[in-house]
Amino acid sequence: MRTRARARSALPAGERGGAGAGSTGGPGPRKISARLTRGDRLYHATATAGAGATLALIVLIGLFLLIKALPALREAGWSFLTTKEWSPDAERPRFGVAAMMAGTLVSAVVAMAVTFPVSVSTAVFINEYAPRRLRRPLTSLIDLMAAIPSLIFAMWGLFVLVPFLVPLEQWAVDRFGGALPFMRATAIGASLGNAGLVISLMTIPIATSIIREVLAQVPRHECEGALALGATRWGMIRTVVLPFGRGGIIGGSMLGLGRALGETLAATLILSLTFEIKPRVLENGGITVASALAVQFKDAQTMGLSALMAAGLALFVVTFAINFLAAIVVSRSRSGAGVEA
């Protein structure tokens, strides 16, 4: 107990020392010694080891992908980023990630366009509007949904959701296809749009679960401050709850996006796989990086395997970049940084 108090008191002393450094005269900042107990040192070592292992794992995975991908990247050069077709094991190999990366991004954008509003509203509903006795069951239900294997969602999407959506999509294509180019389609059903929708089924529970958790941390006294001014419940949510939860909303969505980018089964089952760029979200065809890997892996020869690794590396980099951007945004907001009022 005493040692813990000593370790804590070392912090403000450090700040004082730092502030004093700028002033003239007086003694300079002194060296602060913080003697840790054995328990503290043990925890310190364990935590460091854990964090180090995680970091090392990521680096190793990246290195592994890079090394395995090198032969393919040498072969293809920059055309790897712009080529749509995929025949790495042919006599004259031609392959690139353009089509599959485009497909991944299109399906992820569709998925997030659905996930974001649905999960934010669901989280707000559970926390602020749902009857109190329903809150816990609803929360558990969402958490449970997050644990359902993606295969189940993909099959349900394939056999129930997509057949249900096809007439609606046909109507949308007939009605708006003339005016909106991205709505045009010759054949529908096995499209990136539908794959994205099914992916959103998997991302919504994850995003909702995290966003709800963060929004529940909103300081109640700030909410009361808004209500005491005569705010409606929605006014309170808009001025206090959502600004507070910004970091969590972005963080939760990003976790969903991470899953959307890597989701394999939904795209593999639903898409009629073609190595084309399909900006028309309702038209059949398209491919995603993950589904290409899943489908091509079995028959791949030496160059094919290396090319697939390169595709995996590309997905790895894109996912990393997106999460990095999200982390920057999150670190600037209150719920992410945990700043006190």
Partner 1 sequence: MNNADPTRTKPLASPPDGPVRSRGGTLTASQVSAWFGASKVLEGVDLEMGAGRVTALIGPSGCGKSTFLRILNRMHELVPSASLAGSVLLDGQDIYGTSLRVTQVRRRIGMVFQKPNPFPAMSIADNVAAGLKLTGTRAANRTELIEESLSRAGLWNEVKGRLRDPAGGLSGGQQQRLCIARSLTVRPDVLLMDEPCSALDPTSTRRIEETIGELREQVTIVIVTHNMQQAQRVSQRCAFFLAAENEPGRVVESGPTSTIFDSPRDARTSDYVHGRFG
Q: Are 235 and 303 in contact (CB under 8 A)?
A: no
Per rule CB under 8 A, is residue 337 in the interface with partner 1? no
Per rule CB under 8 A, is residue 228 in the interface with partner 1? yes
Q: Are 284 and 190 in contact (CB under 8 A)?
A: yes
Q: Are 281 and 114 in contact (CB under 8 A)?
A: no
Handedness of CA 120, 257, 182, 152 (dihedral sign): negative
Q: Which of 225, 274, 277, 300 binds partner 1 (CB under 8 A)?
A: 225
Which one of 77-85, 291-299, 313-321, 333-341 is the stretch in contact with partner 1 (CB under 8 A)? 333-341
- Closer residue to partner 1 (CB): 101 or 226: 226
Q: What does the per-residue mask of binding to partner 1 show for 235-264, with x meaning CB under 8 A?
A: xx--xx--xx--------------------
Q: How far apart are CA 217 and CA 213, in angstroms?
A: 7
Q: Supply the minimum distance, in Å, between the C-beta of residue 221 and partner 1.
A: 5
Q: Supply the minimum distance, in Å, between the C-beta of residue 224 and partner 1.
A: 6
* Alpha-carbon Rg for the chain in angstroms: 26
Q: Are 211 and 249 in contact (CB under 8 A)?
A: yes
Q: Supply the minimum distance, in Å, between the C-beta of residue 131 and partner 1.
A: 10
Per rule CB under 8 A, is residue 206 in the interface with partner 1? no
**Binding to partner 1, residues 75-104 (CB under 8 A):** none
Per rule CB under 8 A, is residue 62 in the interface with partner 1? no
Q: Are 196 and 110 in contact (CB under 8 A)?
A: yes
- CA count, 13 A, side-chain hemisphere, 133: 0
What tokens were used for 122?
């669901």
Q: Which of 6, 45, 129, 224 binds partner 1 (CB under 8 A)?
A: 224
Interface contacts to partner 1, rule CB under 8 A: 132, 219, 221-222, 224-232, 235-236, 239-240, 243-244, 334, 339, 341
